Structure 1
Amino acid sequence: MHGPARQGVATRRPRLRGRARAGYRRTIASPWPHTPPSAADRARYADASTTPYWLDALPPRPPQPPLSGPAATDLCIVGGGFTGLWAALHAKRADPARDVLLLEAATIAWGASGRNGGFVASSLTHGLSNGAERFPDEIELLERLGLENFAGMREDVRAHAIDCGWEEPGELALAQEPHELAWLEEAAAEARRFGHQVELLDAAAVAREVRSPLYLGGLLTRSGAALVDPARLAAGLLDAALAAGVRVHEHSAALGLQRDGGGVRGSRDGDGSGGQLGSAITVTTAGGRVRARKVLLGTSAFPPLLKRLAHYIAPVYDYVLVTEPLSAEQIAAIGWRGRHGLADCANQFHYYRLTADDRILFGGYDAVYRYGGPVSTLQDDAGEETFATLSQHLVTLFPALEGIRFSHRWGGAIDTCSRFFPFFGTAHGGDVSYAVGYTGLGVGATRFGAQVALDLLDGRETEATRTRYVRTKPLPFPPEPLRSAAIQLTRNRLAAADRNGGRRGLWLRTLDRFGLGFDS
């Protein structure tokens, strides 16, 4: 995922939301098969492990103990994904004496932070064009802040000696239909205006980087794009947080949050005999409770402790396949010599990359929303039809891999919001803050989001907190059953636009007009 993400589901692609140029006509059929996946397509992943590849390859580590009994702290962080881990590090870096306690419902990196594609993007707005459309007066600042955050993340990985396979081979957005070439031209011109290092490639130039009969051209972005092993990144952030004195409790799901008028004794009270300082926020778990001066929420797509946030987030499932290691002959056959991160340009897009041991991670295309937005382990392997489609599409892209098999398959929830990038806020008189809604952008943007949430919590005014980007929220999704109906209709119309030269029909144009969106 861009992050599971596609996280980012993470995984990431640029937001290429340009219109097909006037008079531009589609001249080839859809590149994907029109027949259902075959038994052979399904057989390729029949024996695949349902544990995410990143987690399967993670070296064993000692678990952190569940919360047992009462605890008090200056700052309680809920969520042991990237947002929570970065927030813990930022807080201790700013004030080493601040007591910080982090609660994780499962284990570190079990959620989106260990399920995404490992694409790190400097963009804070899910691509330059998306940010420019929504905040044209702030996009120059947001691009600068994004590049500064990217550079800071690279430096933190180095400073903390985090072995996460950080590499910057560039990201290649690939056109498979003629109208997508026009989108790439527009995206390249826009990127160059903001100083990004980009290169337009024709079909022959793309073939020198990676070979598929489907590619018509591409846009290679060399700045602000990296690849990592996301689970190792999370594990490294955990080690750094523990070394800084953060208390971490795994298997400690936060069940409730409320204001408590009794005050709290944190680290500044020394042995606990000092005076109480005002009211506290109490976070309860099955094994105990934490009374904190401040609380920061980094709960991603999971049910939020603040009910109001549920109106803004639609938990969307993304599914991923990982192949067995490619042989030298297979790598030569597809010519993937630059190790770029790859992504299609269409609304229904794939993201794919090589791992350190030369497997192909291949995800995306379907964005699965289920009525009511359930988030549970039951949904993680419930993507049979998507797995079959991904299997079919991989060998369509690379016919030379016809006999390949998949070693891993998994899914994960993305905290999708209608503007595609995170939003922020406070509650309980400013003693609770949150950063959620990354929509697959979380591998890189969580570092920035964690700092913003801390700044809001501590009342610090910064360049970022003064922006409308931080001070405004996306439009909420409607309640069920309208939410499910609207999302399914939008998915259908996005697929139709891909079949129709990129032209967006009435429904998509209406969503554009009101600043609403949904991505595959």
Structure 2
Amino acid sequence: MTDRGDDVDVLKALAEAAPEPFWLLDPARPVAGPALAGAVTCDLAVVGGGYSGLWTALRAKERDPSLDVVVLEAGRVGDAASGRNGGFCAASLTHGLENGLARWPDDMHTLERLGWDNLRAIADTLTRYGIDAEWEPTGEMSVATEEWQLPGLEDAAENAYEHGWEPILLGPDAVRAEVASPTFLAGLWDRDAAAMLHPAKLAWGLADACRSLGVRVFEHTRVTGLRSDGAALRLTAAHGSVTARRVALGTGPYPSLLRRMRSFVVPVYDYVLVTEPLTPQQRESVGWQHRQGLGDNANQFHYFRLTADDRILWGGYDAVYHYGSGLHPTLERRPSTYATLARHFFATFPQLEGVRFSNAWGGAVDTCSRFCPFFGTAYDGRLAYAAGYTGLGVGATRFGADVMLDLLHVGLAPGEETERTRLKMVRSKPVPFPPEPLRYGVIELTRREIARADRNAGRRGPWLRTLDRLGIGFSS
């Protein structure tokens, strides 16, 4: 996107933005739970108190209520990616239909059906456990902001129809009638493919649901060691240990306890702005009566949506990797990216000049080279893992939890396969990232070439075409 918002005083708009995730400042945030102290035993230990871990614990108890399940979270429940994302809960398990078709065309009808079933099951879970996650099943709309993006929307519509979805293809007048922006040239709105929600409330609600079923959730408990202990696995932390018959790892972008996973995942920082609540006049000026989530169709894309109190959340575009797979709280703040995002915001919504941003933050995404999760086991099948959601894990982590439990044979006979574990997506791995310093060089080159493609009417240069042939991807 060109910086058509350059004449707006973005520093003034950002001057009072709190450098904290909007969602995590919600008054509904619960107090922290206890940390692990002493030695405990259990049937299933889950490492990670975000969506991946919480869904795994909850689904395990739903499959077999007799299981003794423990969750170990290094910080607080939902503090990492699960409390920092945009709150788009998508049906897609493959980071979009096009990405899945490029990798597993023979399985896509099954994957799309499983994705829809998964989204519906999430809604059912919220109802069953009384979780108020501000669920809005409004769908998602992709918008073209440059002429070269129009054929891509048409192709996406055709593929969606062939796989059972019924999106609406909108021309310039129709898309602007939905959401008023002079930059929108067309839109593809799928009313069933996604829901908007409050991401932190989802995590907090899942934790409460787990506790209601007897799961022990330990916060401020960083697991520092993993080893075999006879027929069990032993996890060690600063002030205690857990001995478990089976272990599930759901640690997202953070270094895995399983060394073999580390070449497959890199932490990439994504950044987000949230405005102050819009006035009735400002709200009317943008339309947006159907409250769908939006994303533009560039390679360096933005995603944006309304919150329950009529703020606009605006994120994406920059995807920043730090040398050595750097992870540190200081990297969550990036004023230069905030300024870029603000300029793009006002270019998209010039009628909102004068609106201030209340929050600006960042967070790490567990990125893999195929954009969507991968799975596996270790320790003779006693440990399972899922990672690499690449920014689309709000919904897909529930599916990933079921895959891990299938691989661990929770509620299944020994050696029993399921429809999920027979999928090529589950049986294959992404291309690993090279070691440093080559890793940093490859990722930075790819980022520059993606930006170049957006400036060059979407035309991908030799480097990106080579990555496409190898089945490797990287985007914002």
TM-score, L = length of structure 1: 0.89
CA displacement 1:408-454 (0-9 Å, x = unmatched): 11100000000000000001111111010000111000000001001
Q: 1:168: how far off?
A: 1.3
Show the counterpart of 1:265: none
Question: What is the CA–CA distance in structure 2 between the aligned matches of 1:242 and 1:34, rounded to whole Å?
Answer: 50
Which runs of 4 or more aligned residues in structure 1 lie more than 3 Å from their structure 2 counterparts after TM superposition? none
Give the alignment of 1:231-250 within 5 angstroms. 231-250=200-219
Show the counterpart of 1:155: 124
Contact 2:8–2:346 under 8 Å retained in 1? no
Structure 2 residue identity aligned to 1:396: A
CA displacement 1:309-328 (0-9 Å, x = unmatched): 11001100000000000001
Q: Which residue of 410, 421, 443 maps to 1:487?
A: 443
Question: What is the CA–CA distance in structure 2 between the aligned matches of 1:106 and 1:96, rounded to whole Å?
Answer: 27
Show the counterpart of 2:453: 497
Structure 2 residue identity aligned to 1:387: Y
Q: 1:405: how far off?
A: 0.7
Question: What is the CA–CA distance in structure 2 between the aligned matches of 1:492 and 1:399, rounded to whole Å?
Answer: 28
Show the counterpart of 1:321: 273
Contact 1:58–1:232 under 8 Å retained in 2? no
Q: 1:319 is paired with a residue of what secondary structure?
A: strand
Show the counterpart of 2:158: 189
Question: What is the CA–CA distance in structure 1 between the aligned matches of 2:138 and 2:192, rounded to whole Å?
Answer: 9
2:351 is aligned with 1:395: no
2:428 is aligned with 1:472: yes
Question: What is the CA–CA distance in structure 2 between the aligned matches of 1:377 and 1:75, rounded to whole Å?
Answer: 30
Q: Which residue of 124, 127, 137 maps to 2:93?
A: 124
Q: Which residue of 447, 457, 463 maps to 2:408?
A: 457
Structure 1 residue identity aligned to 2:32: P
Give the alignment of 1:2-17 within 5 angstroms. none
Q: 1:58: how far off?
A: 4.3
Structure 1 residue identity aligned to 2:127: R
Structure 2 residue identity aligned to 1:494: I
Question: What is the CA–CA distance in structure 2 between the aligned matches of 1:466 and 1:490, rounded to whole Å?
Answer: 33
Give the alignment of 1:139-178 within 5 angstroms. 139-178=108-147
Question: What is the CA–CA distance in structure 2 between the aligned matches of 1:260 and 1:58, rounded to whole Å?
Answer: 43
Q: 1:311 is paired with a residue of what secondary structure?
A: coil
Question: What is the CA–CA distance in structure 2 between the aligned matches of 1:212 and 1:87, rounded to whole Å?
Answer: 41
2:377 is aligned with 1:430: no
Contact 1:86–1:446 under 8 Å retained in 2? yes
Question: What is the CA–CA distance in structure 1 between the aligned matches of 2:43 and 2:21, rounded to whole Å?
Answer: 34
Question: What is the CA–CA distance in structure 2 between the aligned matches of 1:310 and 1:42, rounded to whole Å?
Answer: 38
Structure 1 residue identity aligned to 2:461: G
Contact 1:283–1:290 under 8 Å retained in 2? yes
2:378 is aligned with 1:409: no
CA displacement 1:45-75 (0-9 Å, x = unmatched): 2221122111111414232100011111111
Contact 2:371–2:389 under 8 Å retained in 1? yes
Question: What is the CA–CA distance in structure 2 between the aligned matches of 1:430 and 1:443, rounded to whole Å?
Answer: 26
Question: What is the CA–CA distance in structure 2 between the aligned matches of 1:40 and 1:387, rounded to whole Å?
Answer: 13
Percent identity, please: 54
Show the counterpart of 1:366: 318
Contact 2:247–2:382 under 8 Å retained in 1? yes
TM-score, L = length of structure 2: 0.97
Q: Which residue of 61, 64, 68 maps to 2:37?
A: 68
Matched positions, count = 471
Question: What is the CA–CA distance in structure 1 between the aligned matches of 2:188 and 2:431, rounded to whole Å?
Answer: 31
Q: Decide which moves more: 414-423 or 455-464.
A: 455-464
Question: What is the CA–CA distance in structure 2 between the aligned matches of 1:172 and 1:136, rounded to whole Å?
Answer: 23
Q: Decide which moves more: 227-236 or 41-50.
A: 41-50
Structure 2 residue identity aligned to 1:489: L
Q: 1:380: how far off?
A: 1.3
Q: 1:34: how far off?
A: 7.4
Contact 2:4–2:343 under 8 Å retained in 1? no
Structure 2 residue identity aligned to 1:441: L
CA displacement 1:92-121 (0-9 Å, x = unmatched): 111111100000010010010000000011
Q: Decide which moves more: 54-63 or 197-206.
A: 54-63
Q: 2:260 is paired with a residue of what secondary structure?
A: helix
Question: What is the CA–CA distance in structure 2 between the aligned matches of 1:492 and 1:63, rounded to whole Å?
Answer: 41
Question: What is the CA–CA distance in structure 2 between the aligned matches of 1:133 and 1:58, rounded to whole Å?
Answer: 43
Q: Decide which moves more: 459-468 or 470-479.
A: 459-468
2:67 is aligned with 1:98: yes
Q: 1:38: how far off?
A: 7.5
Q: Decide which moves more: 420-429 or 327-336.
A: 327-336
Q: 1:43: how far off?
A: 2.6
Structure 1 residue identity aligned to 2:212: A
CA displacement 1:308-366 (0-9 Å, x = unmatched): 11100110000000000000111112222221101000001100000000000000000
The CA RMSD measured in Å over matched residues stands at 1.3
Show the counterpart of 1:26: none
